[in-house]
Structure 1
Amino acid sequence: MAFGRLPSRPAEAPMSEINVTPLVDVMLVLLVIFILTAPLMTSAIRLDLPQSEGGESGAAPQAVVLVVDAQGRWFLNDQPMAENALREQLTQAARRNPLTELELRADASVPYGRVVEAMGLAQKAGLSRIGFVAEVVSP
């Protein structure tokens, strides 16, 4: 072996297998993004929710969602409801399970009297567990 020369080796053959590790990594990142964004798309009604400094609420075992939009209209599980139909639907939900929680989402511009009216309808129907939904203020 002469000074300054490296031993020569035969060139390696090109790799013919596909490396699936980067593909799996990208798919897992997309899956995580989908899992995180899917719950944010559940409500189709646009609301300006009031903000509070509370923590995130836990998942209720059974719940119905009552929305009061900025015009004061009622939506039960994203379906528009008149007062009589709302009263009947809430009564049926209370008969099925008396521990059903009512998640009340009211726009920040809705008068307090309209919110109290919705609470009264729920209590008359037999739903005593009422939760108020608000956006969490980020520090």
Structure 2
Amino acid sequence: MAMAAATAEGEPMMDINTTPLIDVMLVLLIMFIITIPIQTHAVKLDLPVDSKDAPPPIVDPVKNKVTIDPAGTIFWNGSAIDLIRLRQYLDITQQMNPVPELHLQPDPQARYVVVDEVLAVTKRANVEKMGFVGNEAYAGAF
């Protein structure tokens, strides 16, 4: 603390002694810090557990394959589906970023009506990244 200017020997000191005030403030601060509960900044999430038996995702983010067998059954990545489910899957793929490719592989013996219906559904779903796979199977058809 700074020394007061020279005062007469019997005069009262006009400055307040702040040392006890600071001591009390430090004790109160330490008590306040101790009594505050510890804040945890954790976000509780239920994360999926990785299992080896889990089926692969229905919509592949890279490429999806639509096949049509001779009986007229439509398959999406190996699973049999109908035209309504095909449209739902195509809508999901069109919302992904980047948009996955669609590979269409009809059997050479498949009815053209079914292939035409699948093409109409892909057109209504505004599929732009689509290709035909297995065109070499049609070489002897005509």
- Higher relative CO (CA 8 A, sep ≥ 6), structure 1 or 2? 1
Considering only CA atoms, is the larger Rg found in Structure 1 or Structure 2? 2
Normalised TM-score (structure 2): 0.48
